Homo-oligomer: A and B are copies of this chain.
């Protein structure tokens, strides 16, 4: 009897351990109905979700916890969603948190602006909650968190160890220069997200150093050369910049 209970206990524990970890999602939207609806659907899908009607309260929340993903309405009453996005991206702490934008208009220009500001995806209103949840999952899947372990993989043949500054392709180590490594790091920590050449340069050298942005092309070339077959994951988005796509 006791034995059985012990067994069960163990089995249950194991199952828990294998289940996906709770993912915290923050939603900022000034329309209570929509906020409520989104929250319900996210929670039904097993996410931990927190909603905010004002940017103000959202910022308060941010001081205590960093969510795994942020859903942001472009149109907020107190602040502009784009400004929030810009702010988040400028802070080291939050810069790696993926953002999904909710936009009222499906204008192509908005999309571009969103991409340039660092959003990882955008959903146009009106939207179906199911679609939003699907997008959330897609972005998270792409992301494949690096945190803590300091290791990430791209297309399961390329592994990047941030502590060791080591890159391996199918267990063969590849020598990268510091700059090449940093670019790869930037792109791979936000898979799918497009980075402009200026953004990459800022990441590399900060604002002080002024360098022609064509330089990035050359670094990308070197990277691609060294990565060989795995270079297929580094993609150019014409007119905008570069990204990693698995």
Listed in ascending order, the chain A residues whose CB lies under 8 Å from chain B are: 2, 6, 9-10, 13-14, 16-19, 21-24, 31, 33-34, 37, 40-41, 43-46, 62-68, 93, 97, 125-135, 137-138, 145, 147-150, 161, 163-166, 177-179, 190, 192-194, 237-240, 243
Contact = CB atoms under 8 A, between A and B. Distances in A.
A135 B44 CA distance: 24
A14 B44 CA distance: 10
Given A10-B17, A238-B178, A147 B130 contact: yes
B21 A17 contact: yes
Name, among A21, A63, A161, A237, the residue most crowded by chain B CB atoms within 10 Å (CB to CB). A21
Stoichiometry (number of copies): 2
Contacts of A240: 165, 178
A171 B4 CA distance: 52
A135 B149 CA distance: 7
What 6 A-B pairs come out closest when comparing CB atoms?
A: A134-B148, A17-B46, A178-B239, A66-B128, A131-B147, A164-B192
Contacts of A97: 128
Contacts of A163: 190, 192-194
A149 B137 CA distance: 8
Contacts of A68: 128, 130
